[in-house]
Structure 1
Amino acid sequence: MREAGFIQTTKRGRGAAEMTAEDAAALLIGLYGARDPASAADAVNAFAELPHKKDPDHEWDEVPDWLVPLQRARNPLQALAAVVEATPRFTPWGRASGEGVRLHVYFYRPRLGMTIELVNPGRPRPDWGHVMSFGEERREFVNAYDVVTRLQLPLFSAVHRALHPQGPTA
């Protein structure tokens, strides 16, 4: 991943560059989008080229300001970087609260695709929810040969804490 340019290359140890949300997004795609560790960089390249598929049933007309970077993402790298940065604003699935937004991220392989689902827990479905898809969305027609990996808030919280150990930044 480093040799392919997806992680900043500087000195190691104390003089190393701080990891960015973009670096973390590339690592997440390499980890969850690749079929094996040797193909991680190829997976990042392939996912980075997946177009954002606009869905008229899931328009982004009313989003909080902190979700605007996600709304503007044009590929999975940008979208996951925006998710990592916005993580403190998301609500855990078990919490009964009208604030925040719940999050699920799905990776599909071998036919590449990624879906981000956001739901406001304070409003009844489908009153407020967004689905952002890249590549081929297969939420309704996953076949027996597809691998579907679902990432949830605890993973993104751990990544955010690693990038921002001093506390929330969103």
Structure 2
Amino acid sequence: MQLVIDTSTDTASLALVQDNRVLAELTWRCEQNHTTQLLTKLAHLLNQTKLNLQSTSGIIVARGPGSFNGLRVGISTAKGLAFSLGIPMVGISSLEAEAYQHAETSLPICPIFNAGRGEIATAIYQKKHNEWRQLVTEHITTVETLCSQITTKTIFCGEITPLIATQL
């Protein structure tokens, strides 16, 4: 079983996965309270499923882009658990994980996370001919600049605030 941790945005998630099947997951709006909520939520998830960390064979953690505090808490927790349990840990792109949920469409997928100061973190992915590809690398930009560069029908997903939504 693998433990999945995503604290890259104000909405955090934990999941327990085995053989590509989600055994249990917990998603909550934590704002900037990752430090005080992550381990409590993990204990709750394990208690609800009657599973324990000792049966974990690996940890998957979102490595960003995202909230500095959220990433610090998630990655530190993952590293500490991996070290104490003697199991491997792997980091995945938060943007790619967000986009992959829409992989079965034939359209380009553009995940967006709020980067603050009027900027966004984004990239573009697409699954074509059964191959998942990154079309545009992860970068920081503005919604206005992003929209001027997209010329085809595209799926937008991610942390789209009302302000960002009005600009898309």
> Is the TM value for this pair above 0.5?
no
Compute the TM-score of the two structures, normalised by the length of structure 1: 0.27
Compute the TM-score of the two structures, normalised by the length of structure 2: 0.27
Which structure is higher in RCO with an 8 Å CA cutoff and minimum separation 6? 1
